[in-house]
Amino acid sequence: MAAGPLPLAIAGTACISSSAVVMQLAGTSASLTALGRCGFALPVLAVLVWLDRKRGASPLAPRNRWLARLAGLFLAGDLIVWSHAISDIGAGLGTVVPNLQVLILAMLGWLVLGERPRRSLLLASPVMVAGLALVGGLTGSQPYGADPGAGVLAGAGVAVLYSIYIFTLRQAMAASGSTAASGSTAASGSTAGVTGTGGAPSPVAALFEATLGAAAGSIVIGLGLRDFRLGHPWPALGWPALGWLALLAITSQVIGWLLITASLPRLPAWTIGVVLLIQPAGSVTLGYLVLNERPSLAQLAGVGLMLAGVLTAVGGGRPAPAEAPATATDSALAPDSVLVRGSAAEHENHAPRARSVESEVAIEVAVPGSDAEAAG
């Protein structure tokens, strides 16, 4: 008997929640972390793309393919900068701070596409900024982390880079053809947006191209910074560094993504809001249990404010409709992200409607480097 959407969503979110801790255990440099995560995932994604093609999914058009690869370059920068954020502020807090992308995506939609933000996002902004200040140790207490201020700044940079990645990948998918076929597929709920059938390009193909771009970007940045170092993995657990990277690639880049993609389109919006909190809360908890991270009370209060801001942003009313209707391929998920769309009615009906960039809330998890190498 097939599992329901809620257990799948919880399992997928748990997979991506572990990313920050797994990368800390690997102890690799920032560039090698990004390259290993993407490189180990590429063969698995290639097999999934091949299976989709056998089921009738169309390949991405050249323009879409290059847009997805361009998005991957921003993902490479995101992963590398995130490694530094984790080194400065820890795996748990470093996972929470980049949730600022909720606000940044809304601003991108407003400035580039003229999509006005929802009132709930405007209400969430001061709450999340206040939480950010607490996490960064601006209250004068003794915050956790080697350099909490630098960690918060790096986390904010991660939010910007990841928002551009999500925005560019969305444009790559939105420009795909076969709109009519996509709409019929989404309305039937047959694949829940995991694969493209009936001539519609597959979101798995877009993820493969973006991951390929991220791997290439990681190589270029790593060579430029001379930042390819294996480091020293945690010897108590007995795994080599590359083993941890392979585990990260399979759990977060592939399995977690597929479970979330298959489940979220079939869940009501209020349930998604709760599931979203598993990812940052899980990272903070795992950091506490596995890495012995001990955030201060003020920082934990900041975490609570930022998560409350996420719930406020997700739980608001419907945004103003976009001019162009969405296709089934709009449901493609990015690595380590959860995209929330539209209203509860949309999720319950499994039917896409017109939607805007800021209606897509992406919650990401960290891909850190090593505590031992603060420079990445």
- Domain range for 251: 9-362
Most confident by average pLDDT, 88-92, 113-117, 257-261? 88-92
Phi, psi (5° rounding) for residue 258?
-65, -40
| Token pair 């919880």 in the structure block, residue | 10
E strands, the chain, are 339-340, 361-362
Task: State pLDDT tens for residues 148-168.
Answer: 888 989 999 999 998 898 888
The answer to whether residue 1 is domain-embedded is: no
**Does residue 179 come out as left (phi exceeding 0), alpha (psi in the -120 to 50 range) or beta?**
alpha
Distance, CA of 247 to CA of 266 (rounded, Å): 28
Averaged over 15-25, what is the pLDDT? 87
pLDDT at 81 over 80: yes
The answer to whether residue 226 is domain-embedded is: yes
What's the predicted TM-score (pTM) here?
0.74
The answer to whether residue 327 is domain-embedded is: yes
Sign of torsion over alpha carbons 11, 17, 22, 28 = positive
The answer to whether residue 46 is domain-embedded is: yes
The answer to whether residue 375 is domain-embedded is: no
> Which of residues 347 and 275 earns the better pLDDT score?
275
Lowest mean pLDDT among 72-81, 296-305, 310-319, 337-346: 337-346
Domain total of the chain: 1
The answer to whether residue 77 is domain-embedded is: yes
Whether the Cβ atoms of residue 156 and residue 135 lie closer than 8 Å to each other? no
289 CB neighbour count, 10 Å cutoff? 10
Lowest mean pLDDT among 52-66, 119-133, 137-151, 197-211: 197-211
Q: pLDDT averaged over the chain?
A: 74
Question: Which tokens is 353 given?
Answer: 């409607």
The answer to whether residue 190 is domain-embedded is: yes
pLDDT score, position 78 = 94
pLDDT at 223 over 70: yes
pLDDT at 340 over 80: no
Identify the band that residue 274 occupies on the pLDDT scale cut at 50, 70 and 90: low
Task: State pLDDT tens for residues 174-203.
Answer: 654 433 333 333 333 333 334 444 444 567
Averaged over 264-280, what is the pLDDT? 69
pLDDT at 271 over 80: no
pLDDT score, position 96 = 87
291 CB contacts (<8 Å, ≥6 apart)?
21, 24, 90, 91
pLDDT at 122 over 60: yes
pLDDT at 172 over 50: yes
**CA 38 to chain centroid:** 14
The answer to whether residue 39 is domain-embedded is: yes
